[in-house]
Amino acid sequence: MTTSTQVQLVSRPKGWPTPEDFRTVQVELPELGAGEVRVRNEFVSVDPYMRGRMSDAKSYVAPYALGETMTGGAVGRVTESTAEALPVGTLVLHGLGWRDVAQGPADQFRQVAEIPGAPSSVHLGILGMIGLTAYVGLTEIAHLQAGETVFVSGAAGAVGTAVGQIARLLGAGRVVGSAGSAEKVDLLTSRYGYDAAVNYKDAPIREQLPAIVPDGVDVFFDNVGGDHLEAAIDVFNTNGRAALCGAISGYNDVERPAGPNNLWHLVSKKLTLRGFIVGDHAHVAAEFGEKMAGWFAEGKVVFDETVVDGIENSVEAFLTMMRGGNTGKMVVRV
């Protein structure tokens, strides 16, 4: 009998989630039915959007069910199979989340490529949903043009490190970002190709941003929300566009903070603010996959991961990520 260790949500967090909102359970897995696979996960993803699903507010995705295992991106290897298309040993991506062993109908699993010299977790990161999110935001949402200036908030996070590099590869003129520590700020310019970066904990971002964008900002890729959006609106050039990917600064707020006090610039500078969800742009995945595979193979893209070991530490990994304790993609190694 195979057992699977799984992490379940048991109560809806008010404000910051706590370990008590979750439980770890052992589930006995049945024998495989016809056309099914059993997968030993290698890496499980923890992502900011999951905080939204822990609440039961109306949103673009259904809330997580209480008492059920947390779903989300994961990558693993087939260990048992009754499905011809996915033989034992196949590397697969799936959405079954926080568990060490996953199993189910083969159509819930998608084969992904083995990437020489890279861990399979890249399929949860720069080669997967994270990279696609960055690409969609810059192209489909913000319509980045060559030569333009891009400002990225939360630039040292998983999406942010991808945005800076992809913006550069797409021809951006100047790329600047914000992050929450001196170390991260250094990485942005030394490793991720940012032209300049600031630590938003040093002083209000609104005070620091103008100095690093002397010619204003054309595209703002927002992972943070709140004061970062306000700062961007201040320095936007006419016809500036914001791709709003996340607002991690407010995800755990119980009180709703006041919004930017400069929204009149939306009219005066003819700005566009647009929220998006990568899932709506699956039609771009093929185009992205081809370009990114090329860039990756040519060594034009770097990535970092912050790895936490052990499926039972998924909650800790999630909370650390929410507090900004990661550089690059946060993953749980099973």
Torsion of CA 316, 6, 17, 317, to 10 degrees: 20
Least separation in angstroms between residue 278's CB and a second copy is: 11
Q: Does 322 bind a second copy (CB under 8 A)?
A: no
Size of the site for a second copy (CB under 8 A): 37
Least separation in angstroms between residue 276's CB and a second copy is: 6
Q: Does 225 bind a second copy (CB under 8 A)?
A: yes
Beta strand 91-94 with 22-29: parallel, antiparallel or unpaired?
unpaired
Q: Which tokens sit at 296? A: 């990756």
Q: Does 105 bind a second copy (CB under 8 A)?
A: no
By beta-carbon proximity to a second copy, the closer residue of 171 and 275 is 275
By beta-carbon proximity to a second copy, the closer residue of 76 and 246 is 246
Cα separation, 96 vs 272, whole angstroms = 35
Least separation in angstroms between residue 280's CB and a second copy is: 7
Q: Are the C-beta atoms of 309 and 42 separated by less than 8 Å? A: no
Least separation in angstroms between residue 334's CB and a second copy is: 30
How long is the chain?
334
Least separation in angstroms between residue 328's CB and a second copy is: 22
Cα separation, 166 vs 134, whole angstroms = 7
3-state secondary structure 202-233: CCCHHHHHHHHCCCCEEEEEECCCCHHHHHHH
Q: Does 142 bind a second copy (CB under 8 A)?
A: no
Cβ-Cβ contacts under 8 Å for 76 (sequence gap 6 or more): 39, 40, 41, 42, 43, 91, 92, 94, 102, 120, 334
Torsion of CA 215, 217, 223, 229, to 10 degrees: 100
Residues between 21 and 50 that touch a second copy (CB under 8 A): none
Residues between 261 and 320 that touch a second copy (CB under 8 A): 261-277, 280
Residues between 50 and 79 that touch a second copy (CB under 8 A): 52, 57, 59-60
By beta-carbon proximity to a second copy, the closer residue of 158 and 273 is 273
Least separation in angstroms between residue 287's CB and a second copy is: 21
Per-residue contact flags (x/-) with a second copy for residues 166 to 185, judged by CB under 8 A: --------------------
Residues at the contact surface with a second copy, assessed by CB under 8 A: 52, 57, 59-60, 225, 229-230, 238, 244-247, 250-251, 256-277, 280
